[in-house]
Structure 1
Amino acid sequence: MRLVLFGAPGSGKGTQATRLKQDLGIPHISTGDLLRAEIKAESELGKKAKSIMDAGQLLSDDIMLGIIRSRLSQPDAKPGFILDGYPRNLAQAEALDGVLAEIGQPLDVVIKLDVPNEAILDRCVVRFKAEKRPDDNPDTVKRRLGIYADQTAPVAEFYAKRGKLKVVDGVGELDEVTARVKAALEQTAAASA
C-alpha cells in the first residue's frame, strides 16, 4: 500500500501513521520527523530548516522533493509507504507523481483527516506544553493553518480529480479515527482488487 496521510497541521497524521505502519508493515515517512532529525544533527539543511520552521514557514519544494526522493529509494519503502506531511502544495503533488512514476510506485490512496481548526489549536496547545516543539506554539500553528488553507488545501482537489482522495473524520477517540482510516484503506484495496 502506498498512501499519503493528508490534513492540516495537528490533524493527527503522525499519530495515525504510527498506528498504521504496524498493521501494514510499511514505513511511516514523516517530512517533519526527517527535518527534525536534520535539525538535531545540526546539518546545514537542519540549520536552514530550523530558521524557516521556527518562523512558521514551509521549506522550498526542491528541498522537500530531494528529501522524499532519497527516502523512497531506500529498500524498506519498496513494498509501500505512508507519507505524512507531503505534498503540501500543488507543485509538490505534481512532482511527487513524477517521482513515483519514475520508480514505478504510484499512490494507491490519499487519506485526508478532516479536523476543524479549533480542535487543531486545542491539540497543538496540549502537545506544545508536553513536547515543547516550536512548530506547536499557538501563534505558529495559527500561521501554519493559514498557509495550509492557502497552499495545501487545494492538493485535496488535485487527488480528488484523480480518484485517489478519501476524506475521513479525524475528530474522536484515537481508536475511532484509526478504525475510520482502516475502513477507507479497505475500500481502496477492495476497489483495486
Structure 2
Amino acid sequence: MRFRKAARVILVGAPGVGKGTQSERLLQRFPQLSSISSGDLLRHNVKERTPLGIKVESTMKAGGLVSDDLILRLISNELNHRGWLFSGHPSGRIMTLASSGTGATDTQSLDDDADVAAFISSPVHARGGSVEPQTSEDPSASFLLDGFPRTAIQANRLDEIVPINLAVSIKTPIDVIIERISGRWVHEASGRVYNTTFNKPKVAGFDDFTGEPLVRRADDHEDVYRARFRKFQETSEPLLEHYARKGVLWEVEGMSSDEISPKLIREFERRFVE
C-alpha cells in the first residue's frame, strides 16, 4: 500500500475521545507514517542539551510556558533533519536550532544565547533566505503531528512552516466519554489503564501484574472533565474553522474507537493511497 503524496495530519478531539488509539491504529495500518510529538521533541532536545533544549529547559525551570515560537522551532528543526523541509536559498539550507544528536550536516546550528534569541524572534522571511520554507511532497515525508497546534493562532503560525493537508475532527457524545472515563482506573507506576466496562482488572481495584492498588486520575471525575471539555470547545472551534477554510477538515463521529477507526482508515486511503 503506497501513498501517492505526503500526508501531513493532525487529530483534533476532546480529552478522552481516543486520539491516541486512532493514532496508534493509523501508524500500524500505514507504515509510511511517522509520529512527530511536540512533547517528545521537547524531552529529546533537553536530554541532548541542544541549544533549543537548553533554552526550553531554562524556560521550564523558571516556571514559564514553552512559547509557540519554541515549539515551532522544534518542529521545523525535526522536519529539516529528516530532509522534509527545504528552502529556495542557493545553499538549500534553513537556519535551525540544530540537534547535535542527529549528526546532520546540512543545517546551520546556533551556538550561543544571542544567536538563539535572534533566530526565535526573526520573521519567517528572514530565516533560510528570501523565500519561505517548502515542505516535501514525497510520500515518505508523511507524519501525524501530535500536541500541536491546539489553537487557531498556533495553526496560523504552523502554516508558515508546514501546511497540514488533513485535519481530522473526532467526535463522540460527551455523555459517552464521561461514562467511559468514569470506569477508568490506572496503575500509576506503569501507566497501565483498566476500565470496569471493557478492560477489567482480574481483581477489582488491583493491577494484574504487580497486585498494587489502582487509582483514579483527578481529571477523570465528571465535574473536572466537564470543565476541561468546555475549555477544549473554546479553543477547538476556531482551530477547526481555520482548517475548514483551508479545505482540509474532515469530521468523523462514533460511539467508540472501534466504530471510528474503519471510517478514518477509509478516508485516509481515499485521500492518500494510490
What TM-score does the superposition give when structure 1 sets the normalisation length?
0.71
Is residue 13 from structure 1 mapped to residue 2 from structure 2 by the alignment?
Answer: no
Give distance in 2, aligned partners of 1:33 and 1:179. Answer: 28
Using the TM superposition, name which of 144-153 and 60-69 deviates more: 60-69
- Structure 1 residues 13-32: aligned runs within 5 Å: 13-25=19-31, 26-32=33-39
Structure 2 partner of 1:61 = 68
Match of 1:107 among 147, 164, 170: 164
Q: Specify the code of the residue in structure 2 equivalent to 1:3.
A: V
Using the TM superposition, name which of 150-159 and 87-96 deviates more: 150-159
Give distance in 2, aligned partners of 1:24 and 1:46. Answer: 38
Deviations 1:43-76 (A, max 9, x none): 8649939x78xxxxx8642343233333333428
Match of 2:262 among 170, 174, 179: 179
Q: Judging changes above 3 Å, is the alpha-carbon distance between structure 1 residues 182 and 92 closer, same or farther for their aligned structure 2 residues?
A: same
Task: Pick the structure with more helix per residue.
Answer: 1
Q: Contact (CA 8 Å) 2:186, 2:217: kept in 1 or not?
A: no
SS in structure 1 at match of 2:244: helix
Is residue 96 from structure 1 mapped to residue 158 from structure 2 by the alignment?
Answer: yes
Is residue 3 from structure 1 mapped to residue 9 from structure 2 by the alignment?
Answer: yes
Give distance in 1, aligned partners of 2:253 and 2:58. Answer: 34
SS in structure 2 at match of 1:16: helix
Structure 2 partner of 1:85 = 147
Give distance in 2, aligned partners of 1:177 and 1:127. Answer: 20
Q: Specify the code of the residue in structure 2 equivalent to 1:48.
A: M
Q: Judging changes above 3 Å, is the alpha-carbon distance between structure 1 residues 88 and 9 closer, same or farther for their aligned structure 2 residues?
A: same
Q: Specify the code of the residue in structure 1 equivalent to 2:144.
A: I
Q: Specify the code of the residue in structure 1 equivalent to 2:68.
A: D
Give distance in 2, aligned partners of 1:127 and 1:185. Answer: 30
Alpha-carbon shift at residue 28 of structure 1 (Å): 1.8
SS in structure 2 at match of 1:73: helix
Match of 2:174 among 117, 120, 140: 117
Give distance in 2, aligned partners of 1:32 and 1:116. Answer: 28
Give distance in 1, aligned partners of 2:40 and 2:18. Answer: 14
Q: Contact (CA 8 Å) 1:13, 1:84: kept in 2 or not?
A: no
Give distance in 1, aligned partners of 2:185 and 2:58. Answer: 20
Q: Specify the code of the residue in structure 2 equivalent to 1:94.
A: N
Larger radius of gyration: 2
Determine which structure has greater relative contact order: mean sequence separation of CA pairs < 8 Å that are 6+ residues apart, divided by chain length: 1
Alpha-carbon shift at residue 134 of structure 1 (Å): 6.1
Q: Judging changes above 3 Å, is the alpha-carbon distance between structure 1 residues 158 and 124 closer, same or farther for their aligned structure 2 residues?
A: same
Is residue 147 from structure 1 mapped to residue 147 from structure 2 by the alignment?
Answer: no
Alpha-carbon shift at residue 176 of structure 1 (Å): 2.7
Give distance in 1, aligned partners of 2:181 and 2:58. Answer: 23
Structure 2 partner of 1:48 = 60
Q: Specify the code of the residue in structure 1 equivalent to 2:234.
A: D
Q: Specify the code of the residue in structure 2 equivalent to 1:80.
A: S
SS in structure 1 at match of 2:186: helix
Number of equivalent positions: 177
Structure 2 partner of 1:103 = none
Give distance in 2, aligned partners of 1:175 and 1:46. Answer: 42
